Structure 1
Amino acid sequence: MDIMTESEINECFAFASTIAKEAGKVISSAFYKEKDIETKAGVADLVTKSDKEVEKLLFDSIRSKFPSHKLIGEESVSAGDVSPHTNDPTWIIDPIDGTTNFVHRFPYVAVCIGFTYNKEIKFGVVYNPILDELYTAKRGTGAFLNGTRIHVSQEPDLRKCLVMTECGSSRDDVVMAKLFENMQSVLSTPVHTIHSLGSAAMNACMVAKGAAEAYYEFGPHCWDFCAAGIIVEEAGGVLMNGDGGPFDLMARQIIAANNPEVGKSLAKRLVQQISFPHDCQ
């Protein structure tokens, strides 16, 4: 395993912001054009030529500069290239988080670049090129939106919260019944409302900048929220699993909240825990 210094992590962090902007140019140029669309696990699990193009651009750039680092990406995993998550320096990438939004020209899409070392998230970059919003965070240094520091909401009462979630891409009747039972339970708290932007990263970034108090979801992958997760933490928020237990990046469930009280209160309202196979096993 490579032994990394703080200076080397800083170099990777700066590089991540640069290549996120380059990837954003590819997304922006294709956003209002017709797309070549394919499906993966189901009719609601979409992929486009741009997803693959952006991931290749990011992978090629990283391999050229940091040839010994590991890479985990949504499209490469979908194609069967499954790498275990190790202590090595690892880039965890979603080329276009919110592909369905991208297909429909709904402007909540993001390039997501997370980085782990010793299995700890060290930094994250989330770039929405359509809105030109660059969210960044490195552990211990705060979270930023276009260079301006951001903070989570200070609201302590779940009943006064705006909560983000997603229905996911599964259309299995049992899974959907559990999803809707959880939604009904959360709404009956009652919270102010539930919103959905169609992007795990964008939902989490709403929490980071104080536009929402919490985000929960069962079924997303590590590349969906690795980068955004540390942005939430560095903005003063917390991460936990869907049952309120310690956060596990590979467990495919997440609560991102502005504080532990809201997170724990939300976990108690999630009456149906939904299990998915762990990532990178």
Structure 2
Amino acid sequence: MTGNEFQSQTEQDLALLDGMTAAVTAAGRVLLDRFSASNRVGDITALLAAIDANDIASTAVLRPALERLRPGARWDDDEEGRGGLGPGEWWVADAAEGNVNHIHGSVDWGVTATLVRDDVPVLTAVFLPALNRTYTAVRGGGAFLDGAPITVSAKSDLKAALVGTGQATPGEDPTIRHAMSTSIDRMLDAALLVSATVPATLQLVQVAAGHTDAFWQYGQVRSGLLAGALLVQEAHGTVIDTSGAPWTLTSADFIATTPGLAAPLSAALTS
């Protein structure tokens, strides 16, 4: 793609942004109506039922709105999907990102939508209803919080860094669990402070906005990483795997951080 063609494509993608933002906002308002800080669940049966009910209510608003915007784009139905999607355009969305937090009365949840073209995220919108924040990014067009540009931090000293990780999904493979626990131990030695929480998107928007300095994860669930990956990239950050190679949907692991921390973080995780 030539420079002019890339610019033209970026402008076309920007034209979709208002509609995407409206879609995630409308779905988020549905979840907000269902939310209370006093929300609690008593057992696994009630938890799963509440998760399903939130997903159904939000998806009923989100999916038709996105499909009207880009009728030719396919829909990624697998909320725990991993790996590449294949050629063409896809909508990768999470109608209730951080759903488990919502049903436990925490504010750390939202709605995400990302347009993926030939396995590359090109446009994303993330709405956090309980915090009333909207993050957006367009490939080649920058990253924004409520319309204002955001950028990653300027950190280059891992000893001064605030870093985080998390569990991509319940029931992770034992190999992934071992890698995660080992990496936390390594980062407790290498970084200033380490957090482990869910969902990934809520940590990644903090990296993109410069409030924290890095996020890594071994579980490679698409819907949890794509929106944050594009936001961090467009906020002048670096998104790689632990070997230091550029991250893709087929990568085995994930790091999003500042340019100055990419090499030391990768080295700490692979030493």
Q: Distance in 2 between matches of 1:173 and 1:140?
A: 38
The residue correspondences of 1:250-261 to structure 2 (distance < 5 A) are: 250-251=250-251, 253-259=253-259, 261=260
Task: Please tell me whether the aligned partners of residues 10 and 139 of structure 2 are also in contact (alpha carbons under 8 angstroms).
Answer: no
Amino acid paired to 2:59: E
The alignment status of 1:56 with 2:60, answered yes or no, reads yes
Runs of 4 or more, structure 1, over 6 Å off, are none
Of 178-187 and 56-65, the range deviating more from structure 2: 56-65
**Partner in structure 1 of residue 93 of structure 2:** 93
Task: Please tell me whether the aligned partners of residues 140 and 234 of structure 1 are also in contact (alpha carbons under 8 angstroms).
Answer: yes
**Partner in structure 2 of residue 184 of structure 1:** 185
- How many residues are matched? 257
The residue correspondences of 1:176-255 to structure 2 (distance < 5 A) are: 176-189=177-190, 191-251=191-251, 253-255=253-255
Amino acid paired to 1:238: T
Query: How far is the alpha carbon of 1:116 from its aligned partner?
Result: 1.7
Amino acid paired to 2:177: M
Query: How far is the alpha carbon of 1:87 from its aligned partner?
Result: 2.7
**Partner in structure 2 of residue 10 of structure 1:** 14
The alignment status of 1:19 with 2:33, answered yes or no, reads no
Q: Distance in 1 between matches of 2:152 and 2:84?
A: 32
Q: Distance in 1 between matches of 2:254 and 2:213?
A: 14
Task: Please tell me whether the aligned partners of residues 109 and 128 of structure 1 are also in contact (alpha carbons under 8 angstroms).
Answer: yes
Query: How far is the alpha carbon of 1:74 from its aligned partner?
Result: 4.2
Q: Distance in 1 between matches of 2:227 and 2:141?
A: 15
**Partner in structure 1 of residue 73 of structure 2:** 69
Query: How far is the alpha carbon of 1:47 from its aligned partner?
Result: 3.2
Amino acid paired to 1:179: M
Q: Distance in 2 between matches of 1:84 and 1:196?
A: 26
**Partner in structure 1 of residue 48 of structure 2:** 38
Task: Please tell me whether the aligned partners of residues 113 and 126 of structure 1 are also in contact (alpha carbons under 8 angstroms).
Answer: yes
Query: How far is the alpha carbon of 1:84 from its aligned partner?
Result: 6.6
Name the TM-score, length of structure 1 as normaliser. 0.82
Instruction: Note the alpha carbon deviations across 1:170-215, whole angstroms, 9 max, x for none.
Output: 36655433322111111112x1101234111111111001111100
Query: How far is the alpha carbon of 1:6 from its aligned partner?
Result: 4.4
**Partner in structure 2 of residue 264 of structure 1:** 263
Query: How far is the alpha carbon of 1:263 from its aligned partner?
Result: 1.8
Task: Please tell me whether the aligned partners of residues 165 and 216 of structure 1 are also in contact (alpha carbons under 8 angstroms).
Answer: yes
Query: How far is the alpha carbon of 1:113 from its aligned partner?
Result: 0.8
Q: Which structure shows the higher helix fraction? A: 2
Task: Please tell me whether the aligned partners of residues 218 and 242 of structure 1 are also in contact (alpha carbons under 8 angstroms).
Answer: no
Task: Please tell me whether the aligned partners of residues 150 and 235 of structure 2 are also in contact (alpha carbons under 8 angstroms).
Answer: yes
Q: List alignment gaps of at least 5 residues for structure 2.
A: 1-7
Q: Please provide the CA RMSD for this pair.
A: 2.5
| Aligned CA distance change for structure 1 residues 179 and 84 (closer, same or farther; 3 Å) | closer
In structure 1, the residue corresponding to 2:202 is in which secondary structure? helix
